[in-house]
């Protein structure tokens, strides 16, 4: 089971996807957990999620954990498939709860009241790549499985 869960391709493309996902996701998690980059921090985000969006407390907490801790695990390539699966669920939930009413496109010109879901769909796609391929080169997963690789 460990071999199946942690095994990874030996590709550089998985490494690139993993590092890019970590870099792109980190500011979003830092907004929610720390209040960096114009975010509301943990208590403000929890209030918004539970009072405005009406998410159950455990779900709101899980969103913050996924988006804040996920980039660190992805950057290291540790439990890549697990975090990719969590990110797919996170982004799908965000699309369904907050973005479908605004359509596909991001709000580039301020013409709509919110953002579309194209960013989230792209993130789901990158996460699917990581779910299939694993962490790739230079990953903790690869080290734990003694460099045994799979074919993606």
Is residue 37 assigned to a domain? yes
Residue 8: per-residue pLDDT = 80
pLDDT of residue 124: 97
Q: What is the mean pLDDT of residues 123-141?
A: 93
Q: Does residue 45 belong to any structural domain of this protein?
A: yes
**Is 64 a member of any domain?**
yes
Mean pLDDT, residues 53-74: 97
Residue 150, domain member (yes or no): no
The residue among 20 and 102 whose pLDDT is bigger is 20
Predicted pLDDT at 48: 96
The reply to whether 131 falls in a domain is yes
Residue 73 has pLDDT above 60, yes or no: yes
**Is 18 inside a domain boundary?**
yes
How many structural domains compose the chain?
A: 1
Helix and strand tally (H, E) in the chain?
Answer: 7, 0
Sorted by sequence, the CB contacts under 8 Å of residue 46 that are 6+ apart come out as 57, 60, 61, 64
CA 125 – CA 64 distance, rounded (Å): 21
Give the residue among 94, 105, 48 at the shortest CA–CA distance from 67.
94
Higher pLDDT: 109 or 42? It is 42
152 within a domain of the structure (yes/no): no
């Amino acid at each position: 089971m460990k071999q199946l869960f942690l095994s990874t391709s030996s590709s550089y493309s998985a490494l690139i996807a993993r590092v890019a996902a970590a870099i792109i996701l980190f500011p979003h998690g830092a907004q929610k957990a720390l209040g960096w980059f114009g975010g509301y921090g943990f208590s403000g985000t929890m209030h918004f999620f539970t009072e405005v969006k009406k998410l159950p407390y455990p779900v709101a907490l899980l969103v913050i954990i996924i988006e804040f801790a996920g980039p660190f695990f992805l950057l290291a390539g540790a439990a890549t498939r697990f975090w990719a699966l969590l990110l797919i669920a996170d982004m799908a939930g965000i699309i369904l709860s907050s973005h479908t009413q605004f359509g596909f496109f991001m709000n580039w010109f301020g013409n709509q009241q919110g953002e579309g879901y194209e960013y989230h769909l792209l993130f789901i796609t990158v996460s699917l790549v990581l779910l299939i391929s694993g962490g790739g080169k230079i990953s903790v997963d690869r080290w734990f499985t003694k460099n045994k690789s799979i074919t993606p």
